[in-house]
Amino acid sequence: MRTVPRKKSQGSGRGETRDFPPPPATRPDARRTPGSVALARIVSMPRRKDGGRHLNIGRSGTGKSYLTRALLAELNRGGRWIFTLDDKDATGTQYPGIEYVTVADFEADPPPKEGDGSRERRIVFRGDLRKDIVCPAEDVAQLGKRFAQKGIPVCVNFDELRRAAAGKSGQHWTAPTVPWLLMEGRALGCWWVGSTQSAKLVPDAALNEAGTISVFCQKRKAARYIVDVLELDDELATVIPELDEGEFVLLAEEEDWNGHVYRL
């Protein structure tokens, strides 16, 4: 079991360091637990043939994509297609697989079968910021829907879910097939994964319909918003702002927070 170093105490401000642990700023019984336990929980959450629906929420650099990579590696193990939309960084993507600019490019020239009959099924749609080419979230969602409707195991991953939403506070979907996959895709065995830096940038339905949500560090107001929308234990509003890089709490549909803090 891995123990996670907590932030060092600031001392009293006179330059000396304290050699005893800082007082627990968070829930006293919050247990630090290996992220693999959370990953197993996320993967096993869907019932029977249902596809999973997982949402990551956290400030930039807190570990959303890191966790997503590990989750997608699990989901791809059985040969599931993984369609990721990750177009925010022109310099590169963190996701392994074959990169395409748009869905049309993928359909015109899908990955070939290898000699042993295997095929790379991890596809990353990148758009092209330099040439002003956008890969719409709707296109990726519709591609996932077509695969799912044919009975092909698939996962769609929206690394920036707000690309599928708009409005002052992100309260409506601009890509209607994204929520369709979230709500109906599960019955077709389609997995849905989304990430957002703030819950306010995406419709509340994303929070309410997700089967599991990993919440990484958020500022106090943003943490309060999540707690209010999901009617969670008030203590989480103080735990979430205290999380270190890579740490997250896992919320499962219709369950209270289990008191664990995870890190992969």
Ligand X SMILES: Nc1ncnc2c1ncn2[C@@H]1O[C@H](COP(=O)(O)OP(=O)(O)OP(=O)(O)O)[C@@H](O)[C@H]1O
With 0-12 / 13-18 / 19 or more C-beta atoms within 10 angstroms meaning exposed / middle / buried, residue 92 is exposed
Place of tokens 């997250």: 248
Among 51, 52, 57, 62, binds ligand X (CB under 6 A): 62
Q: What whole-number distance in Å separates Cα of residue 95 and Cα of residue 261?
A: 25
Which neighbouring-strand residues pair with 157? 84, 193
Q: How far is the CB of 79 from ligand X (least distance, A)?
A: 25
- Asked if 214 touches ligand X (CB under 6 A), the answer is no
- Asked if 262 touches ligand X (CB under 6 A), the answer is no
Place of tokens 């996320």: 42
Which stretch, 15-23, 65-73, 112-120, 164-172, contacts Mg ion (CB under 5 A)?
65-73
DSSP 33-65: EEHHHHHHHHHH-S-TTPPPEEEEE--TTSSHH
Q: What's the one-letter identity of residue 210?
A: A
Helix, strand, or coil (residue 137): helix
- Asked if 256 touches ligand X (CB under 6 A), the answer is no
CA-CA distances (angstroms) from residue 48 to 37, 71, 82, 88? Answer: 20, 18, 20, 35
Q: What whole-number distance in Å separates Cα of residue 212 and Cα of residue 38?
A: 10
Q: Which does 125 bind (CB under 5 to 8 A by kind): ligand X, Mg ion, none?
A: none
How many residues bind to Mg ion according to rule CB under 5 A? Answer: 1
Q: What's the one-letter identity of residue 185?
A: G
Q: How far is the CB of 2 from ligand X (least distance, A)?
A: 10
Q: What whole-number distance in Å separates Cα of residue 56 and Cα of residue 197?
A: 8
Q: How far is the CB of 248 from Mg ion (least distance, A)?
A: 13
User: Nearer to ligand X by C-beta: 122 or 263?
Assistant: 263
Is 251 within 8 Å of 230 (Cβ atoms)?
yes
Q: What whole-number distance in Å separates Cα of residue 36 and Cα of residue 182?
A: 24
Among 107, 109, 233, 245, binds ligand X (CB under 6 A): 245
Q: How far is the CB of 118 from Mg ion (least distance, A)?
A: 28
- Asked if 162 touches ligand X (CB under 6 A), the answer is no
Q: What whole-number distance in Å separates Cα of residue 35 and Cα of residue 19?
A: 28
User: Nearer to ligand X by C-beta: 148 or 250?
Assistant: 250
Among 11, 22, 24, 61, binds ligand X (CB under 6 A): 61
- Asked if 84 touches Mg ion (CB under 5 A), the answer is no
Q: Which does 246 bind (CB under 5 to 8 A by kind): ligand X, Mg ion, none?
A: ligand X
Q: How far is the CB of 231 from ligand X (least distance, A)?
A: 25
Show the site string, 66-105: x = touches ligand X by CB under 6 A, - = not. Answer: x---------------------------------------
Report the site for ligand X in 29-58 (rule: CB under 6 A): 58
The site for Mg ion (CB under 5 A) is made up of 65
The site for ligand X (CB under 6 A) is made up of 58, 60-66, 197, 245-246, 263-264
